Structure 1
């Protein structure tokens, strides 16, 4: 029977039960939950960066291939 804390956005924390012991314990619990949320957001950000990097690399390869084909067209009779 824990007390679920309320986050800055007004929603309850998910996953971590906060025991009804002391204010310090409650705040530690909120901090742990906040740290968990930040870690998840950092992982999502890194995933998005990796995906963007792959897409940019694919775009560069397509541009290089297109330029190569244009050169071949101009060189061919």
Structure 2
């Protein structure tokens, strides 16, 4: 089973869980994983992530289609 299938399986199972103890354990696992990721990032990386999140919250985003179209226009030789 690939990772996407495993994640999907976990999500489906978790949607049916009604035990608060299990939910709390998952939340602790999530928080622990997030903290581990933060400690592995440099200050510069954390700053870039924060700046990106601020841009998203301010609505300064482009869809994948918009980026693809502007790339095709700027570099048409790559899309022959």
TM-score normalised according to structure 1 size: 0.34
The higher radius of gyration belongs to 1
Q: TM-score, normalised by structure 2?
A: 0.33
Q: Per chain length, whose mean CA-contact separation is higher, i.e. which structure has more relative contact order (CA < 8 Å, sep 6+)?
A: 1
